[in-house]
């Protein structure tokens, strides 16, 4: 690698950062990322970054606000240390479901996070499966928006090697489900729902034949699991065969694991965009995004096209 390339990480997902650096065959940048006794975040770079092309790996997962602050302070430290360019590698972008107002007197939280990153001094963002593609437009800097669907589809096709019904749990995810279907074969089904609030869903109807067929519910994230479980229950009522789920971000908030365990879902496959507890690996299969992110980092550093990784 060119000596100008340096990669640092916050504390959100150290395993992913180490996996990426193993792919790049280089050490992770040395930095103190800790907390003061009063709970404030403490950052100190322990090597020079002057003139470097720097990447900071930090998914904005739980604890969300703490991880956002770590990322902002890392960016500020790099900027003040004269880094030439700073790219925030954000496999999971928090507040992405709050990209618009659903009622009066509430914030557009995703826009606020975007503004904070730019104000801190980031020059570029590398993200995977933003819940709302419109978030790209919140930034006045380049955003490389990768997709995890192809990784999940290849993993599923390799293991099961049979045509399936790719199910979109809502109308907004039809393109994602269609891409999954194209890579695995089979057909498409679409569930219509409405979302009274960011954490609530209500299934209305479904289009597509699933009777006796294996189905894969394809989504960008699993948060509380309510969308996933309601979709699975509807599929079971319509006579579906084995029911699986595939999602890029396995957030698994609140009692999501318990909900899924009690649902008709046979298996869930997610990526490691956020840490998944080892104790849950019996029911959750994890596909790594480290090779894809390592390739994207090298392409960005060498001013090469990243478009080949978008599919």
Catalytic residue positions? Answer: 193
Q: 125: helix, coil or strand?
A: strand
**The tokens of 30 are what?**
């040395």
Helix pair 174-184, 149-160: axis angle to 10 deg: 40
Strand 243-250, strand 215-222: pairing: parallel
In whole angstroms, give the CA distance from residue 8 to residue 202. Answer: 41
As a whole number of angstroms, the distance between CA 213 and CA 163 comes to: 9
φ/ψ of 286, rounded to 5, equals -115, 130
Residues 111, 88 contacting (CB under 8 angstroms): no
What does the DSSP 8-state code read for residue 278?
G
Evaluated on CA atoms 203, 253, 97, 197, the torsion sign reads positive
What is the four-CA torsion angle of 13, 17, 23, 25, rounded to 10 degrees?
A: -150
Residue 228 CB contacts under 8 Å (≥ 6 apart), including other chains: 169, 217, 219, 222, 245, 247, 259, 260, 263, 265
Peptide bond into 63 cis (omega under 30): yes
- Supply 67's token pair: 């991880």
Helix (H) or strand (E) holding 204: strand 200-207
Identify the three-state secondary structure at position 235: helix
């Amino acid at each position: 690698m060119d000596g100008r390339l340096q990669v640092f990480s916050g504390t959100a997902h150290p395993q992913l950062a180490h996996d990426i650096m193993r792919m790049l065959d280089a050490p992770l940048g040395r930095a103190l990322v800790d907390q003061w006794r009063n709970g404030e975040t403490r950052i100190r770079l322990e090597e020079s970054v002057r003139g470097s092309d720097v990447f900071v790996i930090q998914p904005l997962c739980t604890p969300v606000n703490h991880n956002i602050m770590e990322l902002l302070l890392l960016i500020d430290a790099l900027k003040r240390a004269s880094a030439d360019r700073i790219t925030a590698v954000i496999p999971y972008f928090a507040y992405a479901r709050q990209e618009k107002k659903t009622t009066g007197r509430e914030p557009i939280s995703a826009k606020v996070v975007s503004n904070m990153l730019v104000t801190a001094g980031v020059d570029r963002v590398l993200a995977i499966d933003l819940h709302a593609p419109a978030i790209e437009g919140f930034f006045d800097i380049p955003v490389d928006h990768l997709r995890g669907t192809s990784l999940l589809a290849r993993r599923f096709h390799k293991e099961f090697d049979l045509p399936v019904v790719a199910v979109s749990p809502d109308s907004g995810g039809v393109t994602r489900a269609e891409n999954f279907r194209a890579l695995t074969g089979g057909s498409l089904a679409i569930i219509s729902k409405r979302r009274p609030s960011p954490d609530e869903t209500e299934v209305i109807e479904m289009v597509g034949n699933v009777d006796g067929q294996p189905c894969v519910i394809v989504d960008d994230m699993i948060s509380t699991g309510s969308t996933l479980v309601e979709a699975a229950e509807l599929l079971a009522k319509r006579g579906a065969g084995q029911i699986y789920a595939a999602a890029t971000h396995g957030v698994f908030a609140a009692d999501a694991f318990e909900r899924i365990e009690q649902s008709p879902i046979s298996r869930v496959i997610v990526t490691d965009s956020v840490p998944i507890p080892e104790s849950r690996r019996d029911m959750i299969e994890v596909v790594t995004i480290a090779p894809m992110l390592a390739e994207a980092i090298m392409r960005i550093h060498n001013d090469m096209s990243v478009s080949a990784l978008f599919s």
